[in-house]
A and B are shown apart, each in its own frame.
Chain A
Amino acid sequence: MKKRIATVSLAGCFGCHMSLLDIDERILDLLKVAEFDRTPLKDLKKFTKRCDIGLIEGGCCNEENVHTLQEFRNNCDVLVAVGACAIMGGLPVMRNAIMNSEDPLRECLEEAYMNSPSVYNATNDIPNDPALPLILDKVYNCSEVVKIDYQVPGCPPSGDTLWETLTALIKGVPADLPYGLIKYD
């Protein structure tokens, strides 16, 4: 039986997905032992079956990210946080750390929509509409939201690192990652 893999990008930059494509021609070997369910590379908008492995890129910065992450937890046997954003929040988490600020989110919004000289804002409103997914007060990493089974560090983890991790998970053996493949940048 082929293993089923699902992938998603939450509050990430898609770099981790691009790194997965950096396994290059090994994708052909991967497809012999695994198939993809829901992933941004396919047009399935929902899970079609329960999956063996779920790869998560990015942390949570809005309510939709939280729902999607919970959906992945509910539909995947093994959940892997891939990359700095999923594990620690990554670049987006910098907004949590704005110094001396009572309301970092509000400051970010004001900077983008009110303070910039190239902005033309007739009403001087910050966009806020029922349709917008609620932006969370701060950015959360995946472990703060659901149980995560494995973490693969890197920003992004290299194609080789992801290849070794995936093949080990598919075989059900511990990943043997040499020192050179474990990087945090």
Chain B
Amino acid sequence: MARTKVIEIEPLTRVEGHGKVSIHLDDNNNVKDARLHIVEFRGFERFIKGRPFWEVPVIVQRLCGICPVSHQLAAAKAMDIIVGAKKLTPTAEKMRRLMNYGQIFQSHVLHFFHLCSPDLLFGFDADPKVRNIFGIIKKMPDLAVQGVMMRKYGQEIIKATSGKKIHGTGAVPGGINKNLSIKERDGFLKDIAKMKEWSLGALALARNYTLEHMEMIQDFAAFNSNHLSLVREDGALDLYHGNLRAIDAEGNAIFNQVDYRNYNDYIMEEVRSWSYNKFPFIKSRGQNDGWYRVGPLSRMNTVDFIDVPESRKAHEEFKALTNGKPNNMSLAYHWARMIEVVYCIEKIEQLLHDPDLQGDDLLVKGDRAEEGIGLVEAPRGTLFHHYRVNEQDQVTYCNLIVSSTNNNEAMNRAVTKVAHDHISGNPTITEGMLNHVEVAVRAYDPCLSCATHALGQMPLTGELYDAEGTLLERKSRTI
């Protein structure tokens, strides 16, 4: 058997969570395979069984400290159904929406400024010692401070709606446990103009970067795929509630305005014997062609329009670039993400002027149900939560499909393409080349913490080397 050399990029850095990439090479450094691995397993679906259902929104967010609010809200929406809350009070629904905008705002800002901007501003091949947020702080302190203060603003919104910046308790089955005080509201209004200005600045940065590097971006980790997201009933972008829409790479509808409580009729997750990773796909297209992308890029592709002015304009410009067809370039995620940053801050401003946030009617209840399904758009894409609860209030069943699992196949394709294009056949493999691979993964902003609730990694065969080519020892295990 021909010998294979395996390069591991481990741990993946400047992404959230734990992961690694392995690249299999032949003797001439031709890439035979490249894969993204997520290296932990939690078992949440099993050990949540038997816990009281009202605990779930609080517990489940401990899967992920970057998008805790998204898990809290998806679980709370499922538990709304369990407690028979058919329609939340305006105060509860708007507080939850505000929380969600704060979450997506802070997560997108963190991703763009703290994690990715060093690649975009310094270059993929820049010295790894400075290619990080500390380097940005040193070289471009004003920009870095904007990122830090924008993230802080989003975190403060989360604290005001959820009780804590990370792992709060705000959303409860049937509603919310606090409203927004006048004092809190005025604190946010004081800084809103500056936040809007900085958000538009970040959008311009991402947009200009994309347009200036179009030649590279058109090709770098670019490939056709289906796209999936929630959309509002009128086709507008909605990150908190709506129906499912899936389109193909040309923009044709695969399904549209589907009630997400029927997700089991449309989506399946393939288990491959050689991987802990599940690979979701659209049933009607089968497991080979049915895989899809989610997240900011997909949302910009699936929605018909945005209902607030600045981000509406930005979305129209984004769509015009590909003549109204879906944009299939991985690196266009950054631009799409910054459109959503502007969208969130516009929505936050709208909500802050809404007196419903100071209402006292926080909770509703109705007839108990046994099964609840909740979906939200998390920063990284569509997030599915599904539970069953018995008469003693105990959870008896749980299924989660997290955003980064939805992007699993796409991230693997991105890694493979970049490895082929940038590493294959080169006599020496540099740190910069390997960073290209990480740049492709980072575009998806994968949340590997989330994904670890039930993910693992794929097989490696042959001798194992680290990035410097040193042979590593590795014990193997029989099945």
Residues of chain A having any CB pair with chain B under 8 Å: 9, 11-19, 21-22, 24-25, 27-28, 31, 35-36, 40-45, 61-62, 64, 90-92, 94-95, 97-99, 104-105, 107-113, 116-123, 125, 127-135, 155-156, 158-159, 185
Instruction: State whether the Cβ of B433 lies closer than 8 Å to any Cβ in chain A.
Output: no
**Contact across chains for B68 and A9 when beta carbons are under 8 A apart:** no
B467 adjacent to A120 (CB under 8 Å):
no
Q: Is the CB of B43 within 8 A of A21?
A: no
Asked if residues A95 and B399 are in contact (CB atoms below 8 Å), the reply is: no
Which A residues lie within 8 Å of B62 (CB)? 13, 15, 90-91, 155
- Find the A residue at minimum CB distance from B435: A43
The answer to whether B50 touches A99 (Cβ under 8 A) is: yes
Pair A113/B271 contact, Cβ less than 8 Å: yes
| Nearest 6 interchain pairs by C-beta | A15-B65, A108-B43, A91-B62, A131-B460, A111-B46, A130-B476
**Sample (15) of A-B pairs whose CB atoms are under 8 Å apart:** A12-B65, A15-B62, A25-B148, A27-B137, A42-B14, A43-B14, A43-B132, A91-B63, A97-B47, A111-B46, A119-B269, A120-B269, A129-B274, A133-B39, A185-B164
In Å, the complex CA distance between A23 and B384 comes to 32
Q: Which residues of A contact B454 (CB under 8 A)?
A: 112-113
Central interface residue in B65, B134, B274, B275, by most chain A CB within 10 Å: B65
Q: Is the CB of A31 within 8 A of B64?
A: no
Residue of B41, B149, B278, B460 touching A108 (CB-CB under 8 A): B41
Q: Chain B's nearest CB lies how many Å from the CB of A52? A: 17
Contact among A15, A42, A62, A133 for B13, CB-based, below 8 A: A42
* Residue among B13, B40, B63, B476 making CB contact with A40, cutoff 8 Å: B13
Closest to A18 in B: B65
Selected contact of B459 from candidates A44, A119, A131, CB within 8 Å: A131
Q: Give the contacts of B432-469 with A (CB-CB under 8 A).
A: 435, 438, 449, 454, 456-461, 467
B43, B152, B267, B276: most-surrounded residue (chain A CB, <10 A) = B43
Option from B41, B133, B165 in Cβ contact (under 8 Å) with A41: B133
The one of B37, B46, B477 in contact with A112, judged by C-beta atoms closer than 8 angstroms, is B46
Q: Are A130 and B13 in contact (CB under 8 A)?
A: no
- By beta carbon, the residue of chain A nearest B127 is A43
Interface hub of B10, B40, B272, B479 (most chain A Cβ within 10 A): B40
B261 on interface, CB distance cutoff 8 Å = no
Tell me the smallest distance from the CB of B252 to a CB of chain A, in Å.
Answer: 24
Q: Is B63 a contact of A13 with CB atoms below 8 Å? A: yes
Contacts of A25 on B, CB cut-off 8 Å? 145, 148-149, 152
A134 in contact with B40 (CB, 8 Å): no
Q: Please give, as numbers and ranges, the residues of chain B lying within 8 Å of A94 by CB-CB distance.
A: 47-48
B460 and A40 within 8 A (CB): no
Chain B residues with Cβ below 8 Å from A116 are 45, 269, 399
Q: How far is the CA of A17 from the CA of B287 in the complex (A)?
A: 36
- Min distance, Cβ A84 to any Cβ of chain B, angstroms: 9
Contact A62 B145 (CB under 8 A): no
Assess A95 versus B50: contact at CB under 8 Å? Given A18-B66, A108-B41. Answer: no
**Could you give, for residues 36-66 of chain B, a 1 whenever the CB lies within 8 Å of some chain A CB and a 0 otherwise?**
0101111111111010000000010011111
Residues A118 and B269 in contact, CB atoms below 8 Å apart: yes
A61 nearest in chain B by CB position = B40
Q: When chains A and B are docked, how far (Å) is the Cα of A82 from the Cα of B141?
A: 29
- Contact between chains at B18 and A9 (CB < 8 Å): yes
Q: Which residues of B contact A122 (CB under 8 A)?
A: 271
Residue of B nearest to A183 (CB): B164
Q: A22-B165, A61-B41 are in contact. Are A44 and B128 (CB under 8 A)?
A: yes
Are B166 and A18 touching (Cβ within 8 A)?
Answer: yes
Tell me which residues across on chain A come within 8 A of B438, comparing CB atoms: 43
Are B65 and A119 neighbours in the complex by a CB distance under 8 Å? no
Chain A residues within 8 Å of B149, by CB: 24-25
A97→B145 CA distance, assembly (Å):
44
Is B328 close to A, CB under 8 A?
Answer: no
- Cα separation A144 to B324 with both chains bound (whole Å): 57
A113 to B115, CA, bound (A): 32
Q: With a CB–CB cut-off of 8 A, which chain A residues contact B110?
A: 18, 21
List of B residues within 8 angstroms of A61 by Cβ: 40-42
Task: Please pick, from B11, B128, B276, B449, the residue contacting A127 in the complex, using a CB distance under 8 A.
Answer: B276
B16 at the interface (CB under 8 A from A): yes
Select B39's contact among A12, A16, A62, A117, beta carbons within 8 Å.
Answer: A62
**Is B196 in the interface zone, CB < 8 Å from A?**
no
Residues of B close to A130: CB separation below 8 A: 459-460, 476-478
Which residue of B65, B129, B141, B399 is within 8 Å of A156 (Cβ)?
A: B65
Complex Cα gap A108–B44 (Å): 7
Question: Complex formed: what's the CA distance from A121 to B274 in Å?
Answer: 12
Docked Cα-Cα span, A169 to B210, in Å, equals 43
Contacts of A42 in B (CB 8 A): 13-14, 128, 132, 134
Residues from chain A with a CB closer than 8 A to the CB of B151 are 21, 24
Alpha-carbon distance between A156 and B59 when the two chains are bound, in angstroms:
13
A159 and B137 CA atoms in complex are apart in Å by 19
